[in-house]
Structure 1
Amino acid sequence: MKVLIVDDEPLILNGLVKIVREAAPTGTEVRWAGNVPEALAVMREFMPDVTVTDLNMPEKNGFDLIEEARECGLCDRFTVLTGYDNFEYARKALRFGVVDYLLKPIDKDEIRELLARIDEELPSESDSQYARHVKRILNYMEAHYMQELSLDRVADLMDLHPNYISSLFKKETGDTFVNYLNALRIREAQKLLRTHHHLPVNVIGQRVGFENKHYFTKVFKKYTSITPGAYREDDKTYSSEEGKGKC
């Protein structure tokens, strides 16, 4: 299991790291960060199974971290920490779908039970169903990428917990569900841009699962560093130049 701990106070952060290392199941890997931008950078490389984050941090707080991390598909399990027994914080944490809401000072037995529960939810290669689940999910995505897909929808269809699928994806592909799906869609869009020059860009976006043209362009550029229109023009130029040398 991979655990990320985020707190802007160095002494508290060091204490949390020590407690989590002592309380976590054997084999747990622990990383830490002192603020939201640093945490997001660590997440992109580390891909934690759960993030334990303080709520009260300067500039960007724990809720900002949860929102940005989920939007980018970097982590979907969060436990929030706060030194204030505030009902509004607790209610907002529930709305954000956090795993748990803990008060400082952290209780070692409490965090031990929490991490043990999370560890049990994570897929294991020793699970006899693991390979079958992986194959079913990847095959389904390959066949239905052009439709509306989400982690929750696939979980319902496969009768599996979303957290299980998310962790399974990380173990099997080294990527998140969202990134894998977007990369698949963009690869298919590139094929259509090369072979269907008569189709408008927005139609191609729709054919690979993007209803909104602007969002399609944004995602395409993120994965290829170029817009769909520019990609098509580059391909036309390359094809034209290549054709000149043929008999």
Structure 2
Amino acid sequence: MRVLIVDDEPLILNGLVKIVREIAPVGTEVREALNAPEALETMKVYMPDVTITDINMPEMNGFELLEEARREGLCKRFIILTGYDEFEYVRQALRSGVVDYLLKPLDKEEIAALLERVEDELPTAADSEYSRHAERILAYMQSNYMNDLSLDHLAHRMNLHPNYISSLFRKETGDTFVNYLNSLRIREAQRLLRTQRHLNVCAIGQQVGYDTKHYFTKVFKKYTGATPGAYREDEQVNEGETDSEREGDGQ
């Protein structure tokens, strides 16, 4: 199991690391970070199974770290630490879906039981590593599909080989990287064509990641069977028919 501990006070951080190494399940690897930005950089390489983090830190607090890490697919299990016994912190921690909420100073038996529970919930080592990579890559694509993405870009960003990512995509989604990316973009384009009537086709294409109207139209037609303009017109007609049916029902 991989554990990351984050606290901006060096003495407290060293104490936390010592405690966790002492009581964690056999084979647990522990790393540390003095602030949230450092933690995020560590996560990109380390991919922790669980992150133990203080709430009150400069630059970015523990909840902001949690949100950013989950958005990037870097870690999904968090244990929140704080020295403030306030219900608002407890409520926010529970809303954030953390594993648990602990007050400083740590109770060794409590944290030991908690880490054992986390380890019991983890898949096997091989599956766990594969799942971590898959979750991180798919989460990154969900948030960045509108940008200039490629296998090489992902490989550099994730510190993985392009062939590994390509294989992962087929196993995880049953699709190729290119098809998966285009599907993400076209689904969002369909939503925008239905809901953002004030945006023209070119603007929507650029908003979902296509530089030119011509290429956007070509890809959109390949995946939907219609051009963006025809799709929007069909949606308007269908909505009009629905309105007419409602009026007829009301007569």
TMscore range, shorter length: 0.5 to 0.7
> Which residue of structure 1 aligns with residue 53 of structure 2?
53
Partner of 1:245: none
Once the two structures are TM-superposed, the CA of residue 178 in structure 1 deviates from its matched residue by 4.7
Change in CA separation of 1:33 and 1:177 when aligned onto 2, cut-off 3 Å: same
Which residue of structure 2 aligns with residue 175 of structure 1? 133
CA contact (8 A) 2:74 2:136 kept: no
Deviation, structure 1 residue 175: 0.6
Matches within 5 A, 1:54-133: 54-124=54-124
Tell me, yes or no, if the aligned pair for 1:210 and 1:216 is still in contact at 8 Å.
Answer: no
Determine the structure 2 residue equivalent to 1:188: 179
Distance 1:28 1:215 in 2: 48
Letter of the 1:77 counterpart: R
Deviation at 1:97, TM superposition (A): 0.5
Rounded to whole Å, the distance in 2 between the matches of 1:66 and 1:75 is: 8
- The equivalent residue for 1:15 is 15
| Closer/same/farther in 2, CA of residues 68 and 78 from structure 1, 3 Å limit | same
What secondary structure sits across from 2:51 in the alignment? strand
1:229–1:189 CA distance, 2 compared to 1 (3 A): farther
> Following the alignment from structure 1 to structure 2, what is the Cα–Cα distance between the partners of residues 17 and 47?
17
Could you tell me the TM-score, scaled by structure 1's length? 0.61
One-letter amino acid of the counterpart of residue 188, structure 1: N
**How far does the alpha carbon of each residue in 1:201-224 deviate from its partner, in whole angstroms, 9 at most, with x for none?**
xx8822599856999978x8xxxx
Q: Is the 8 A contact 1:55 1:80 kept in 2?
A: yes
C-alpha displacement at 1:228, in angstroms?
A: 3.5
**1:111-133 CA deviation, whole Å, 9 max, x = no partner?**
100000000001126xxxx9xxx
How much has 1:229 moved relative to structure 2?
2.7
4+ residue runs over 4 A deviation = 183-186, 207-218
Aligned residues: 174
Query: Aligned equivalents of 1:207 and 1:52: distance in 2?
Result: 37
Amino acid corresponding to residue 228 of structure 1 in structure 2: Y
- Aligned position for 2:247: none
Indicate conservation of the 8 Å contact 2:189/2:204, yes or no.
Answer: no
The letter for the 2-side match of 1:5 is I
Distance 1:86 1:186, change over 3 A: same
| Matching residue of 1:206 | 186
Unaligned runs of 5+ in 1: 131-167, 193-202, 221-226, 234-247
- Any idea what the Cα deviations from partners look like across 1:172-230, whole Å, max 9, x if unmatched? 2651425147375752167x7xxxxxxxxxx8822599856999978x8xxxxxx5337
After superposition, where does 1:128-167 map in structure 2 within 5 Å? none
* Inter-partner Cα distance in structure 1 for 2:69 and 2:192: 22
- Cα deviation for residue 107 of structure 1 reads 1.0
